[in-house]
Amino acid sequence: MLPVYIAGIGMSQFGKSSNTLVEIMEGAAARALAGSKIQDIEAIYIAVMNPEEFTGDANIASHVVEALGLTGIPALRVETASSAGAAALHAAFQSIASGYYRQVLVLGGEKMTHLSTSATTRILAEVIDAQERQCGATMPALAAMITEKYRRKHHISESRMARALCAVAMKNHAYGAHNPYAQFRQTLSKDKYLASKFVATPLRLYDCAPITDGAAAVILTAARTDILISGIGQGTGPVSLRERDSLSAFPATQIAARKAYQMAGIAPKQVDCAEVHDAFTPFEIIGTEDLGFFAPGKGGQAVVSGQTAADGILPVNLSGGLKSRGHPVGASGVAQIVEIARLLRGESAVKLKREPRRALAQSIGGLATNNFVTIVKKKAAAAIGAEGVIETFTVLHITPDGFLPPLALALIRDRKGALIMAQGEDITHLKIGREVYLRQVAGTYYFTVKSQLQKVRQAIRQLLGKKRSHTEPADGKKAANG
Amino acid sequence: MLPVYIAGIGMSQFGKSSNTLVEIMEGAAARALAGSKIQDIEAIYIAVMNPEEFTGDANIASHVVEALGLTGIPALRVETASSAGAAALHAAFQSIASGYYRQVLVLGGEKMTHLSTSATTRILAEVIDAQERQCGATMPALAAMITEKYRRKHHISESRMARALCAVAMKNHAYGAHNPYAQFRQTLSKDKYLASKFVATPLRLYDCAPITDGAAAVILTAARTDILISGIGQGTGPVSLRERDSLSAFPATQIAARKAYQMAGIAPKQVDCAEVHDAFTPFEIIGTEDLGFFAPGKGGQAVVSGQTAADGILPVNLSGGLKSRGHPVGASGVAQIVEIARLLRGESAVKLKREPRRALAQSIGGLATNNFVTIVKKKAAAAIGAEGVIETFTVLHITPDGFLPPLALALIRDRKGALIMAQGEDITHLKIGREVYLRQVAGTYYFTVKSQLQKVRQAIRQLLGKKRSHTEPADGKKAANG
């Protein structure tokens, strides 16, 4: 598989828009292109959940490619309900990983606010099983039933559960206030949360993501950039609640996460920050458990104790999440990628305690029936610079505050003979005498063990170098003497 | 890019069905799986054009994966209006070509007959530009306007044009009569055609594909089978007629075809048979021109003179095409692949004059706004058997009846020293002394020039063989003497 990189990101203002769906999408694409070196897109992967019913737009892929003035190039729509954005990104990923395309645009959008809340709720509810829908079940109703089951299964009191849900809403609103693209840019007080009406007990209005217009765009490329897509995974689950083995977790996320972690070659705790699909506040809590960040039943406590805040061990939804940034369904899966890219690039107003290197996005389709996990990794712009050798090392399992275990530490002897204390990018392949790459970020050194392939390359370079020096011995001597 | 093969095909009976959309799709998938060695599908690529409005099914990917009892595995929907089936196939192709999946199911379907013709026409018309739709334009209306422009541009009289359209309809009905999955299995007489009412002048009822329920499935794999997908291509065109430079051809097809031919490394005339998107009879004529089979303006004459019949030089729609097999929009792009696979495998009741080796499918989305071309190639079950060397060769430009120029012919000396007259699979790389692979099909020998890569592999094999013989000289001698 060829590596796939992110070469551009763009978003529309999320909220209520007077523009058409296609115009909103056009705006996001224009921003992504404006901020990217890549202009000659080869294909467009489009995510819209239900343009037929929300805006009466069919054949949306052809409309979008035309609006962008790119008629002629391939464009197709990918749809998996509310995770369509992530699905389009994954399909686009494969088109580059296969070598078929070199650079493509992923563009998600939805326009919903022009309809009444009841009309929007009805259209969104079409993803639900027919029999359950017939009973009057809506998305908030099913989410509420999941929440209640989750609470009972983990023996959490009603008040503690409410505190956890409130903590998710308050945290996401607090961060959304810093996000220029967010629909809601006001913080949320506990009193205001508690004063809001129940939509479906135990979920209040502030537990539900809003109805939003918006679009987001990502440009993918086969050429190396600063952000690599290192892992992708998808999983599905039963549509109806009554067919499920678990009502307190989402196996579709677990399947997707397993695949993505395996592909990226990392464990959950190696993720530095995440965007988790908080269409309902309990989904963020369950999501962080399904993703392996916290043990089952412990996600709520993690939020309340600040572990998912910017200065916590695993910051979640620093963009404001769907809750505060807004949830134009087809766009959300792409918007999450835009947000984690902004965080890795340090473009976000919210800063983490330590520079993030690996970020994850989780997207839910329907009531967690079609879920995606995407992992991205920051590539050092010029990682191969200073080199050295491991003098000694350890893997720290009990770490100081602000450092997540296990933490690889090594004393590296650089080419000038100086010793440098550095953090390992990986805890495997540690051995005294092993060659490493070194890079410095904000005062901290990081090392990466040289791979076998790199060693072979180096050996070839040396061999070629020797040959050259054999043919030019005089010059070499002269230079050394001169 | 890893090669992608077809490992299974399946179709539902096309026509009016009392089953639900998901049940129809389930049936097609079950047939594909039953006829394939592959059972453990890793992902499903689903094509449905508009389940939201035709049947009220949203979140269709999750519903389908559940109905198939495969909940957990990834499933996503791909949509490009009426070419959705081809789009899903192309996205699935890339997922295997990248190495991300090894075996996936492509499943297209649509259920339409339960609605009134006017309701179906309205839903299908949503793909049209809003302003043109507002004027009362339907798909047949736009197709008719294209037909009229085509006729005038190429100075074809009204009666000659009508004769050509009638010839397409009659041909496709004649072949559909042999297709057990086809919606219409009756031949069509000229009188019946002429007695049918005009839908939009100059198009009559028999110029339009019917409204159909149906599904089709294809299993793709990275493991070698008898059918390779050798080329894919996609192109888009303006949605509205008034934005088009050409009203007598479809550039979206031309773009898609160029890419697919380039990838397959063949010229149009090397295609042995094709399925062309005949949603309207003139689209088959224009399609055969856009695909480079016939010169612009000559496609009608080609049908009338039998060149696209089973015994013609380029048989088109031997399945009956959309016209007679039926057109469940999301399924058609997949059904075309099923049909060309059946033809290459000799499973079709209709036989070609010579055994087909390369087949093409062309699918149109909307009014030719999002088109796809797919080329498949029959792989000899055991191609690498007899080998030989070119003794002498020619490229025949004026060929006997039944042979399409240019035709590569060579006298091959096989390993036993005998001379064999054989047809070349390709007209390039011909040179006396060049090594070739030989295979025999139904009494005719075909040769393929060994590629450079294969030569390198052989050189390595020889080198390894020599080394072995150096270390075992005594044994070798003994065997030679013994």
Residues of B in contact with A81 (CB under 8 A): 58-59, 61-62
Q: Which A residues in the span 128-147 are in contact with B, Cβ-Cβ below 8 Å?
A: 128
We report the CATH number of the domain holding residue A318 as 3.40.47.10
Tokens of A452: 């076998």
pLDDT tens by residue, A237-288? 999 988 898 999 999 999 999 999 999 999 999 999 999 999 999 999 999 9
Task: Residue A384: count other Cβ atoms within 10 Å of its Cβ.
Answer: 12
Give dist(CA A396, CA A424) in Å, integer. Answer: 11
Q: What gap in Å lies between CA B167 and CA B160, rounded to an integer?
A: 10
Q: Is the pLDDT of residue A473 over 80?
A: no
Tally the residues of chain A. Answer: 482
Q: What pLDDT sits at residue A453?
A: 46
Q: Which of B348, B378, B408 is the last residue of a domain?
A: B378
Query: Could you tell me if residue A325 is inside a domain?
Result: yes
Residue B472, in any domain of the structure: no
- What ipTM does the predicted assembly reach? 0.73
Question: pLDDT, tens digit, for every residue of A54-73?
Answer: 999 899 999 999 999 999 99
Interface check B239 vs A, CB under 8 A: yes
Tell me which of B398 and A115 has the higher pLDDT.
A115
Assess whether B34 and B85 both reside in one domain: yes
Across the interface, whether the CB atoms of B370 and A71 are under 8 A apart is answered no
Interval A296-318: pLDDT, tens: 999 999 999 999 999 999 999 99
User: Hey, is the C-beta of B73 within 8 angstroms of any chain A C-beta?
Assistant: yes
Q: Do A237 and B63 touch (CB under 8 A)?
A: no
Pairing of strands A103-110, A43-47: parallel
Q: Is the pLDDT of residue B472 over 50?
A: no
Q: How far is CA B360 from the centre of its chain?
A: 4
Answer yes or no: do B60 and B110 share one domain.
Answer: yes
Q: Cis peptide leading into A356, omega within 30 of 0?
A: no
Residue A425's domain comprises: 387-450
**Burial class of A267 by CB neighbour count within 10 A (0 to 12, 13 to 18, 19+):** exposed
Domain final residue pick, B343, B378, B413: B378
3-state DSSP assignment of residue A251: helix
Residue B91 lies in a domain: yes
Distance CA B347, CA B344 (A): 8
Tokens at residue B18, please? 């009392």
Is B76 close to A370, i.e. CB distance below 8 A? Answer: yes
- The reply to whether residue A61 touches residue B239, judged by beta carbons under 8 angstroms, is no
Q: Are residues A57 and B91, on separate chains, in Cβ contact within 8 Å?
A: no
Does residue A177 fall inside a structural domain? no
**Shared domain check, A424 and A280:** no
Residues B340 and B421 in one domain: no
Structural domain contains residue B226: yes
A408 with A273, same domain? no
Mutation target among A45, A57, A59 for the B interface, most CBs of B within 10 A: A59
More confident residue, A275 or B465: A275
pLDDT digits (tens, 9 = 90+) for B173-196: 999 999 999 999 999 999 999 999
Is A366 in the same domain as A411? Answer: no
Instruction: With CA atoms as reference, report the closest residue to A146 among A240, A78, A234, A82.
Output: A240
A363 and A393, same domain (yes or no): no
CB A92 within 8 A of CB A106: yes
Q: Does residue B466 surpass a pLDDT of 80? A: no
User: Tens digit of pLDDT for each residue in B43-96?
Assistant: 999 999 999 999 999 999 999 999 999 999 999 999 999 999 999 999 999 999
Same domain, B429 and B311: no
Q: Is residue A15 part of a domain?
A: yes
Which DSSP category does A16 fall into?
A: -
User: Is the same domain home to B256 and B313?
Assistant: yes
Place of tokens 């030679």: B480
Indicate if B296 and B222 belong to the same structural domain. yes
Domain-embedded: residue A392: yes
H helices present in A236-328, as ranges = 251-264, 281-290, 299-304, 321-325
**pLDDT confidence band for A460 (50 / 70 / 90):** low
How many Cβ contacts (< 8 angstroms) between chains A and B?
A: 200
Record: contact B43-A234, CB cut-off 8 A: yes
Residue contact A62–B366, C-beta within 8 A? yes
Nearest Cα residue in chain B from A80: B76
Picking from B360, B378, B396, the residue at the C-terminal end of a domain is B378
How many domains is chain A built from? Answer: 2
CA end-to-end span of chain B: 49
Percentage of the residues of chain B whose pLDDT score is greater than 90: 71
Positive or negative, the Cα torsion across A255, A258, A263, A264?
Answer: positive
The residue-averaged pLDDT of B402-414 equals: 78
User: Would you tell me which residues 331-390 of chain B have a C-beta closer than 8 angstroms to some C-beta of chain A?
Assistant: 365-366, 369-370
Q: How distant is the Cα of A478 from the closest Cα of chain B, in angstroms?
A: 43
Q: Kindly state whether residue A84 falls inside one of the protein's structural domains.
A: yes
pLDDT at position B73: 97
The DSSP secondary structure of B382-402, one letter per residue, reads T-SSSEEEEEEEEEESS--TT
pLDDT in tens, A395-439: 877 777 667 777 788 888 877 777 788 888 777 788 888 888 887
Q: Do A63 and B239 touch (CB under 8 A)?
A: yes
| pLDDT per residue as tens digits for the range A441-450 | 666 778 888 7
pLDDT value of position B242:
86
Same domain, B392 and B366: no
Please give the pLDDT value at position A466: 55
Is residue B372 domain-shared with residue B393, that is, in the same domain? no
Cβ neighbour number for residue B312 with a 10 Å cutoff: 18
Give residue A447's pLDDT: 83
